[in-house]
Every structure is written in structure tokens, then in C-alpha cells.
């Protein structure tokens, strides 16, 4: 009888779940101009979408017809008109390159020399790039090589051709190329930021022009509004017939379960799992699905994340030690990765790992975030369901949250999880146990505790929302490239043994003065132990030839740089997300910087937004971010970072010092967020740690030692070759003035094309 009752109950529950899901769990179609973030916050930009029939009160208190939003071009010779998720309300008669029908759907434009140029057509789909809320307009007026841009003087400034050319060959860049039939068109990218001013109305927005691409095909704006702060979606929830039936069945099940447990406990005196009603029946079902036939087969999923290599891979060894009948190597395409330079390097690294594998055991690139993918793989109905999941441990704050969620899913599904440390020389969690709870605030104190012990192809750049030529970095990923680069470094034994970080010229790029192996460590295409022992071997060979004590010492040598990396990972391990912020971070000193982060009071964590306590500091920050401060050394470094994704270590120091204590007094979290977006070798722990170090907020207190934007670069490059390369506006300047162009006589500035 018990078996019959249990089967009937299971059937009723199954039918109820089906009806409830069909009636009440249908996905609602998203409202235009709205989106939900990965953290389930709801964003609705409709309040700032201007409609033609609306009116607004002016400063005179009277109602006036609504206008679209406007942004001044400042250093760009035009002003812009923009609407959000809707066409502009202004009447446009003639737009360059668009027919009369398309003119009605222009969402952003500017007027110049009597002509109107569209920089994007209407689009109401919002997207997230990491934590950034983005609205993108495309299909504007023709631009670039296929428009008449190359056959006219766009701004009546002949010298603009020189200014926009980042290359050294200025002879024929402006000539149209043959064989390209498709027209390129102008587009707009708007980054939406939260307006934290409590007095700001929800239907107001402030739009600021940030920059335009050199070929004037892409325009970047930032818009600040309360509508971009997010909240809870307002909707009316109605319970359908299936839902009502499901509630009734749920109540019946609870009565059965609670009543049965009380009976088993009080009458039958059962304890533990045996308090469940009909325990023997449910136990037999559980064993049937989780044990029967699975002990004889080991199906192992090897989840690659920060170990895109086959050498020096503890996780791969652990997977093979299980002697699996089938080994699936998988990579989940996580949307947490941002910026085209880093995505390109990641794409090439995955491609390189996939190519040498046997066709029957290739790397499977699964195009979905792990939080939503693994529930499908672990499902009992999935033919892919593994018995074991193996991966390399990652202690980054985001990775800890992600892995905890996946581990919980695996345990619930009966999948055994096996993890190995391989990203760092030492396990950060073990160092925390050995040390002072992770509060290692100096390199010396760290040294006391550290000691040795379907379509599964790689997505193209265009699939990720970037143009094929968007990534301009010369650094590509892949295990073979990483090992070849390591061999080139180790073959120069004298370079390795005498390496001193402060002696590496930040102005050298082709070839660079440093190893440029950090991107390979970041993507896991190079094992950190392979690097460490290779360096140790090279130093030993050098000292056998030259004598002991001739090599560089800690902490400036190559081994010291790897231990700095270990120190930051260990410092981050006990703090998680708090390590990347000053609020509630015991490692960090409180300093009243400008543009402080907005803190969520419920979690104590930064929301990603910040308060503009000083409009002047905000302007300085945006100019620093765009490489347009007017300080050639700083602007050259930032432009190099934006174009290549890489800046030498001392160059990063100069950028961080200038933005914080050395110049702008802007919060270090603002700069850390920009580096997190742009750096190829971005490690969250190292990035936050270095920014705190350079701001003298933690790890270092030598606040009086600043990097001069004039004297420091002259020490390495008195002729200013680096500045001329990355700031071509100053290519013709004498070396005397290249770092301080404002000191040049005005006649020379005009002759060299700096002013007109």
C-alpha cells in the first residue's frame, strides 16, 4: 500500500508541476528599453526616452515642447543630439547617406557645415558588458574608407589627418582602398551610469561626450540618470488555475511530509533521514538513479578556466588519475570577460588548446555562463552528465562566488567535485591559515609564511559584438606561444639573472624591456611553476659562470615579481570582494578621495557606481581615462593601454600615481575599474593591490615619492620617442618641449601644428 500511495503521489506532483509551469512560468517578453542584470536588478530607461508629444517645464516655469538630449563636443568640432531607445524628436529633412524612410529612425546625430550626420539608428535593446550597462546605435551615415571622409576636409583642419594617425607611416593612410564593397557606417556606444544625487528627477539625464574613434566611425558617450540605477521590476502577478492546483498539491504534500516525519519521530522513534515517511521507498529510488551502473563508469568533466594549457596542470593530472572511461574537456564562455583586446587573447588561447587534441576528445567550448549551463549538464536526463567535475581552484572574489554555486549544484546532483591548486605557487587559503588571517600588509611579512609544498568552436570576435579589427593588441594567446616566449626569455641567462624591475624602461615597446609573460599567466597558457623553476635554473647557471652573489636579489628580481603576485592573491583570499574596495576593507587606509564609490548598505559592497562630489575631478578622471589630460607622458601611456591592452609596470605606476595622490586626487577604485576593463593581464587581486600600493592606501606608506610626468620619462627617453609614437600631435616637437609642450613659444607651436 505504501508503494502504491507513493507512486500516486509522485504522479500527482509531476502533473501539478507540468500544469504550473505551463500556466505560470511562461517567460514574459521583455519590455523595450528594459533589461535585467546578472544580479537580477531591473533597469528601465523609458523615463528618459523623449517622446514627440510630451512637454517639459522650463526654467521660466512654463511648459515647452520636449527636446532630445544634447551633448557638447568640446574638443570635437560638433555638438550632438541623442535620444534613448527612440528616434530624436527633432525633424530631420536630409541626413547624409540615409533615405527619407531611414531618417525617421535616427536616434543620434550631429550637424556640421550645414549637413546632418546620423551616428546611429533606433535600438531599444540594452546589454551588459561586465558591470557596464550599454546602449548601442548602429547603421548611421557612411564613414571610414568607404565614405567621402577621405576626399574632403571634414573639420577644415588639415592637420587632423596627422593627429588621428597612430601609425608611423603617414604617407597614404587617407587613400581609399580597393576591393571593399560594403559601406561602413557610424555608430554610437552609450555607457549608462547611476545618478546618485537624491534631488535629481527620475526623468532627467546628463549626457557627456567621451571620445570618437580615429576614423570617426564610433562615438562614445556617458549618460548619468536615476533611471540607470536599477531596482525591482513592477508587475502584477496573477495565479492561474495550474498555480492554484499546484498550491493545493503542495499543501497536501506538506501535510503528508510533516505529519509523516512527526509520526516516525514520536511513535516509531526514528532519527536522521529515517524520519522521512516511506524512507525505504525513497531510498531505493535515490540509489537507483545515483548508484546503479555509475560506479563502474567514470565520466569526468575537466573544466578549464585559468589553466588553458596541458603542461604544469595539476587539474589535468587529477582528472587522469581518476582513470575515466570518458574525459570531457570543457570551457564555458563566461560573459564576465570584457574588452576586445582581452577577448581576442582569450580566443586565441582557447583555439591553441583545442587544436592539438584528438578529434574524439577535443576541447568543447560551451557558449553559456557556468551558473546556467551546469544545471543542464547535471540533469538526470542529460546524456552528458558526469560522475566527476575537476577544475583548477581560483581564489578571485567573482570566481569564489561562481564556484560555490557550481559546487552546490554538483552536490545536489550527486556529482563529485575535485579541485587542485595550480594558478599560484602556494595555495592562498593555506597561507591565510599560516599567517595573520590574510592580513599580510608588507612583502617582508608575506615572505615569512610563503614556502614551497553541437557547435563547440571558439566564438569569433564578431559574435561577441566587436568588429573583426577591433582588437589591435599584438599579444596573442596559446600554450605554444607562451612556452616559446618563455624559452626566449630563459635563453638570455644574463637578462634573467640580472633582471631588476625598477631598471626596466617603461618607454620601450618594440621590443619591450620586460618579459610580457603576465598575459600568459593570466589566461593559464603558462604554468607559474614552469616559469618559477625555469628562472631558478637560469639564475643557477649564471652564478656558476659568474660567481655567487652576482645575480639580482629580492624583491626586484624575476622571482620577486612572482612572489608579489602570490602576496596579493593571499591578501585577497580572506576578503573576497571587499579587497577591491576601500569600504569595510581592513587592509586599506581611509583617505577622502574624490569620486567615492556608492556602497550597497545591505551588502556593504560597492555597486559599481560612484558619487560625483567634484565636477572638476570628474572631468579630470574622464580625460585621464580617454588619454586626453594634456600631459603627454600620461596620455601616451593611456593610449598605449587602450590600443594594446598592455603597459609596462612602471608606466602603470605613473598612471596610478597621477590619478590618485600625485595629481587628481581621484579615488583609486575609479582607476582600478578602468584597468580591469582594459588590461590583457588583469588579475583582480594584483590590480586592486597595486592600486592601493600606488595610492599609499595599503602595503606602502611612501606618499612623498611621486612619479613626475616630466622628469621621470626623460630619464628613460630624453628624445621623447614614446610620446611621438602614441601622441602623434607632438611628433614634430623638439625634444626640449615634447614632455611640456605648453612651454614652447607660440610661434613654434603653430609651426609644429599643435595650435592654429
Residue numbering of the annotated binding site: 514-518
List C-alpha distances in Å: 93 to 96, 117, 118: 10, 11, 12
Q: Which stretches of 414-471 are DSSP H helices? A: 428-434, 443-449
Q: Pseudo-torsion of CA 634, 635, 637, 642, nearest 10°?
A: 140
Task: Work out the angle at residue 283's Cα, subtended by the Cα atoms of residues 277 and 287, and round it to the nearest 5 degrees.
Answer: 165
How many C-beta neighbours within 10 Å does residue 573 have? Answer: 24
Give the separation between CA 681 and CA 522, rounded to whole angstroms.
5
Reduced to 3 states (helix: H, G, I; strand: E, B; else coil), residue 274 is helix
Reduced to 3 states (helix: H, G, I; strand: E, B; else coil), residue 360 is helix
Closest by Cα among 678, 720, 309, 333 to 526: 309
Give the separation between CA 161 and CA 150, rounded to whole angstroms.
9
Reduced to 3 states (helix: H, G, I; strand: E, B; else coil), residue 300 is strand
Q: Which stretches of 525-604 are DSSP H helices? A: 528-546, 558-572
Give the separation between CA 487 and CA 320, rounded to whole angstroms.
28
Sequence-ordered strand ranges (E) for 315-471: 326-332, 363-366, 388-392, 416-420
Closest by Cα among 253, 241, 233 to 22: 241
Sequence-ordered strand ranges (E) for 586-667: 597-600, 605-610
Q: Is the peptide bond before 511 cis (omega within 30 degrees of 0)?
A: yes
CB 41 within 8 Å of CB 227: no
Residue ranges of the binding site for FAD: 514-518
Q: Is the peptide bond before 466 cis (omega within 30 degrees of 0)?
A: no
Terminus-to-terminus CA distance in the chain, angstroms?
Answer: 97
DSSP letters spanning 305-340: SS---SSS-HHHHHHHHT--SEEEEEEE--TT--SH
CB 381 within 8 Å of CB 563: no
Amino acid at each position: 500500500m505504501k508503494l502504491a500511495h507513493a507512486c500516486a503521489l509522485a504522479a500527482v506532483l509531476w502533473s501539478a508541476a507540468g500544469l504550473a509551469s505551463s500556466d505560470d512560468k511562461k517567460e514574459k517578453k521583455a519590455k523595450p528599453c528594459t533589461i535585467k542584470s546578472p544580479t537580477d536588478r531591473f533597469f528601465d530607461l523609458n523615463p528618459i526616452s523623449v517622446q514627440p508629444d510630451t512637454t517639459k517645464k522650463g526654467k521660466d516655469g512654463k511648459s515647452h515642447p520636449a527636446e532630445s538630449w544634447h551633448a557638447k563636443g568640446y574638443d570635437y568640432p560638433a555638438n550632438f543630439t541623442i535620444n534613448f531607445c527612440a528616434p530624436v524628436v527633432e525633424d530631420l529633412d536630409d541626413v547624409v547617406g540615409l533615405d527619407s524612410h531611414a531618417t525617421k529612425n535616427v536616434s543620434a546625430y550631429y550637424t556640421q557645415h550645414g549637413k546632418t550626420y546620423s551616428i546611429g539608428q533606433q535600438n531599444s535593446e540594452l546589454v551588459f558588458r561586465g558591470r557596464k550597462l550599454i546602449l548601442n546605435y548602429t547603421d548611421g551615415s557612411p564613414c571610414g574608407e568607404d565614405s567621402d571622409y577621405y576626399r574632403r576636409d571634414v573639420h577644415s583642419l588639415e592637420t587632423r589627418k596627422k593627429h588621428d594617425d597612430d601609425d608611423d607611416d603617414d604617407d597614404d593612410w587617407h587613400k581609399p582602398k580597393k576591393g571593399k564593397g560594403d559601406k561602413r557606417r557610424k555608430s554610437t556606444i552609450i555607457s549608462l551610469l547611476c545618478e546618485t544625487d537624491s534631488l535629481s528627477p527620475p526623468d532627467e539625464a546628463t549626457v557627456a561626450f567621451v571620445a570618437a574613434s580615429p576614423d570617426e566611425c564610433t562615438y562614445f558617450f556617458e549618460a548619468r540618470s536615476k533611471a540607470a540605477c536599477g531596482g525591482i521590476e513592477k508587475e502584477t502577478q496573477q495565479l492561474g488555475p495550474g498555480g492554484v492546483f499546484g498550491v493545493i498539491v503542495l499543501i497536501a504534500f506538506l501535510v503528508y511530509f510533516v505529519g509523516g516525519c512527526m509520526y516516525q519521530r514520536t511513535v516509531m522513534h526514528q532519527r536522521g533521514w529515517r524520519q522521512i515517511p516511506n524512507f525505504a521507498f525513497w531510498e531505493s529510488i535515490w540509489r537507483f538513479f545515483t548508484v546503479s551502473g555509475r560506479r563502474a563508469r567514470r565520466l569526468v568533466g575537466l573544466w578549464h578556466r585559468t589553466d588553458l594549457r596541458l603542461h604544469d596542470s595539476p587539474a589535468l593530472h587529477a582528472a587522469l588519475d581518476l582513470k575515466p572511461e570518458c574525459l570531457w574537456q570543457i570551457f564555458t564562455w563566461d560573459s564576465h570577460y570584457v574588452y576586445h583586446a582581452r577577448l581576442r587573447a582569450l580566443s586565441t588561447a582557447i583555439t591553441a588548446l583545442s587544436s592539438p587534441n584528438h578529434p574524439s576528445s577535443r576541447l568543447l567550448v560551451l557558449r553559456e555562463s557556468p551558473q546556467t549551463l551546469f544545471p543542464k549538464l547535471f540533469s538526470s536526463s542529460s546524456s552528458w552528465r558526469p560522475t566527476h567535475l575537476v577544475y583548477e581552484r581560483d581564489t578571485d572574489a567573482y570566481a569564489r562566488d561562481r564556484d560555490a554555486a557550481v559546487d552546490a549544484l554538483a552536490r545536489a546532483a550527486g556529482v563529485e567535485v575535485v579541485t587542485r591548486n595550480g594558478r599560484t605557487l602556494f595555495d592562498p587559503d593555506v597561507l591565510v591559515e599560516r599567517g595573520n588571517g590574510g592580513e599580510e600588509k608588507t612583502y617582508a611579512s608575506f615572505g615569512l609564511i610563503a614556502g614551497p609544498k553541437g557547435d563547440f568552436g571558439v566564438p569569433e570576435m564578431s559574435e561577441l559584438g566587436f568588429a573583426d579589427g577591433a582588437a589591435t593588441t599584438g599579444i596573442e594567446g596559446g600554450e605554444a606561444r607562451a612556452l616559446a616566449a618563455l624559452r626566449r626569455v630563459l635563453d638570455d641567462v644574463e637578462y634573467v639573472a640580472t633582471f631588476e624591475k625598477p631598471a626596466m624602461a617603461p618607454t620601450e615597446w618594440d621590443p619591450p624591456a620586460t618579459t610580457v609573460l603576465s598575459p600568459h599567466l593570466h589566461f593559464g597558457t603558462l604554468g607559474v611553476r614552469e616559469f618559477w623553476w625555469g628562472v631558478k635554473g637560469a639564475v643557477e647557471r649564471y652564478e656558476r659562470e659568474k660567481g655567487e652573489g652576482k645575480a639580482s636579489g629580492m624583491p626586484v628580481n624575476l622571482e620577486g615579481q612572482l612572489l608579489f603576485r602570490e602576496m596579493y592573491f593571499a591578501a585577497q583570499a580572506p576578503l573576497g570582494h571587499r579587497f577591491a574596495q576601500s569600504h569595510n576593507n581592513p587592509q586599506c587606509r581611509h583617505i577622502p578621495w574624490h569620486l567615492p564609490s556608492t556602497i550597497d548598505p545591505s551588502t556593504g559592497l560597492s555597486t559599481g557606481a560612484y558619487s560625483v562630489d567634484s565636477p572638476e575631478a570628474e572631468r579630470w578622471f574622464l580625460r585621464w581615462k580617454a588619454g586626453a589630460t594634456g600631459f603627454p607622458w600620461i596620455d601616451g601611456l593611456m593610449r598605449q593601454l587602450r590600443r594594446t591592452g598592455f603597459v609596462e609596470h612602471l608606466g602603470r605606476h605613473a598612471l596610478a600615481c597621477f590619478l590618485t595622490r600625485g595629481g587628481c586626487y581621484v579615488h583609486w577604485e575609479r582607476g582600478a575599474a578602468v584597468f580591469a576593463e582594459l588590461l590583457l593581464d588583469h588579475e583582480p587581486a594584483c590590480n586592486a593591490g597595486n592600486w592601493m600600493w600606488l595610492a599609499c592606501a595599503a602595503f606602502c606608506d611612501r606618499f612623498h615619492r611621486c612619479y613626475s610626468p616630466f622628469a621621470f620619462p626623460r630619464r628613460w627617453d630624453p628624445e621623447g620617442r614614446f610620446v611621438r609614437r602614441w601622441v602623434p600631435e607632438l611628433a614634430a616637437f623638439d625634444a626640449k618641449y615634447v614632455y611640456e609642450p605648453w612651454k614652447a613659444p607660440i610661434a613654434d607651436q603653430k609651426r609644429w601644428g599643435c595650435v592654429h
